[in-house]
Chains A and B, each alone.
Chain A
């Protein structure tokens, strides 16, 4: 059964052994680069003083590579590379389209910012625990997940990033961290196992694991194969990875326990990998099933948004509030996936990219606030505005951005999502988006009022550091500027995202890249 019976699979093409074009090596380079740096750092166990510099240089290189890759994909369309010249559908293919390249680039920017922030946040003991090797291997998993064109390979990258994240979340082994890691570890393992179950069923019904092959075979199998069951399983598995409403409880239980930079990277990267996989599978591979399930996805999205923002309102700990805001953002992305069409999918991709930047920056801000005010708790944080005006301004901008207010990056995707929802008549979904934005403004606004504008009690927090190192402010300010830049001049990103969304809904160029000449 597994042997491809499709007449489209041209076996003679598999005998042609042209060397891979040099530019196509870019496809695999982000993963190979991160793995090489990870391996190097693992070998350099003794000189831990060198770790941060090697890792930051590696992450800077990763940003450049992902930027070149995005440029290559914009110029030439989707690019495919296969392992060992086992041509698809037999070998494992790496296929990069605009969506994957965009996610990979933003992920590398977030990781680079995290690498710089970690210079001041990770001390020698954290380095000895292996923060930097784990960080590079995490990025290998994240890049691999965004770039692969094979669904089982996607599962493998999920596991790579999951095991690295386990290493990062227990870094320091404090009681709180062990508690959080137990919940994070078990529930995420169950989620990836669900993904594997879905992949097993997918293989049993399609006989292939190549995404492009699945996309073109889905039409013919609709009558016989249980594709709805498959899509529902994928929705559950990726929803759990992304912390969507009924299966979101692992996130607020664990995201506030590790070091600030680890929380920031998790918030920026991990849930978004789940969302990316959900977009890839439901929009590109099984589009009709997504339409069937759109009401379920929309309801889950609306509930996720509202549960997230109500949770944020009820928290008095900065980082726990941010954990709930991550969940609330996932709800907005799900709403876009449910609505579909260029507006919905484009809005979902845009919101995911915005959320990666802003949530990471907000976690950085929580770290700075704790350094300045000596606490994460809303009842004791006070007077931050007086202590550092520049930081207060950055925080206010980020609060506006996460609430979806102009002129920041959260505004445009929200406009797209609300418009797309109204266009198909889902007024309740548009209302949920707007109410969520309003409640987020209240949650972040109240936080700003109490932690920044309230005067600190006499003598309180006097022991805390009054100055913050530049390596902490720099990545925070850079991410905030990026948010502002996207908000003020969204046109280039917006048009790229619209092309990316079009490439997902109409994947003929993706198929052409994997099967040259077959999908005529």
Chain B
């Protein structure tokens, strides 16, 4: 089971990195979204997959009786989902603003902050 999930995570990472390498902001954004999901799946798989045994202590007992599903990765993923979603929302708005202000979504043409034709520092007085 973990092996198949590892393969799936690998595919997610491949797609995410391919999209992140693009020049166009909108593709990079999609790459960021997929990258976040790839990491969530990775943490989920890293916590080991156990089916059908929720970590619930039976009545009258003080501890879990046998092996149970790991609850911690789910807490970690929940945190990571909230964070990556809010970042995605911020970057989406930022990309839109950049498109409105800079009139391009091609990162090669975004040279306002670093102009290509900048003069070298003066050599003397």
Give Cα distance in the complex from A253 to B122, angstroms.
Answer: 22
A495 touches B (CB below 8 Å): no
Check B121 against A316 for contact (C-beta < 8 Å).
Answer: yes
What number of A residues sit within 8 Å (CB to CB) of B?
Answer: 46
Interface centre among B35, B45, B111 (most CB of A within 10 A): B35
A: residues with CB less than 8 A from B are 1-2, 152, 156, 159, 162-163, 166, 170, 173, 175-183, 185-186, 189-190, 193, 196-197, 199-201, 203-204, 252-254, 256-257, 313-317, 378-379, 446, 450, 454
B107 within 8 A of A: yes
Give chain A nearest CB distance to B44 CB in angstroms. 9
Mostly, the B contact residues are: helix
B83 vs chain A, min Cβ distance (A): 5
Q: A182-B25, A190-B32 are in contact. Are A314 and B120 (CB under 8 A)?
A: yes
Note all chain A residues with C-beta closer than 8 A to B83: 156, 159
User: Which residue from B35, B120, B125 sits with its C-beta under 8 Å from A316?
Assistant: B120
Q: With the chains together, A254 CA to B39 CA distance in Å?
A: 27
B122/A450 in contact, CB under 8 A: yes
Q: How large is the interface on B (under 10, 10 to 19, 20 to 34, 35 or more residues)?
A: 35 or more
The residues of B that contact A254 with a CB separation of less than 8 Å are 113
From 91 to 125 in chain B, residues with beta carbon under 8 angstroms from any chain A beta carbon are: 91, 94-95, 97-98, 101-102, 107, 110-114, 118-122, 125
Expressed in whole angstroms, the Cα–Cα distance for A315 and B47 within the complex equals 49
> Could you write out 23 A-B pairs with CB less than 8 Å apart?
A2-B72, A152-B79, A163-B86, A163-B87, A163-B90, A166-B94, A178-B97, A178-B101, A179-B111, A182-B94, A182-B98, A182-B107, A182-B110, A183-B113, A185-B94, A189-B91, A193-B36, A196-B39, A201-B46, A203-B46, A316-B119, A316-B121, A379-B119
What is the distance, in angstroms, from A482's C-beta to the closest C-beta of chain B? 30
Considering the complex, give the chain A residue whose CB is closest to the CB of B28: A186
Does B122 lie within 8 Å of A185, measured CB to CB? no
The CA-CA distance from A462 to B104 in the complex, in Å, is 38
A197 touches B39 (CB 8 A): yes
B-side residues, CB < 8 A to A, are 20, 25, 28, 32, 35-36, 39, 42-43, 45-48, 70, 72-73, 76, 79-80, 83-84, 86-87, 90-91, 94-95, 97-98, 101-102, 107, 110-114, 118-122, 125
A203 close to B110 (CB less than 8 A): no
Contact check, B94 vs A175: say whether CB atoms are below 8 A apart. Answer: no
B24 CB to nearest chain A CB (Å) = 12
Which residues of the other chain, B, contact A177 by a CB distance below 8 angstroms? 113
Contact of A204 with B112 in the complex, beta carbons under 8 Å: no
- The answer to whether B125 and A179 touch across the interface, beta carbons within 8 angstroms, is no
Query: Which of A189, A197, A200, A379 is close to B122, meaning CB atoms less than 8 Å apart?
Result: A379
Q: Measured between alpha carbons, how far is A176 from B114 in the docked complex, in Å?
A: 9
> Judging by beta carbons under 8 Å apart, are B48 and A179 in contact?
no
B95 touches A252 (CB 8 A): no
Q: Considering the complex, give the chain B residue whose CB is closest to the CB of A454.
A: B125
Shortest A110–chain B CB gap in Å is 24
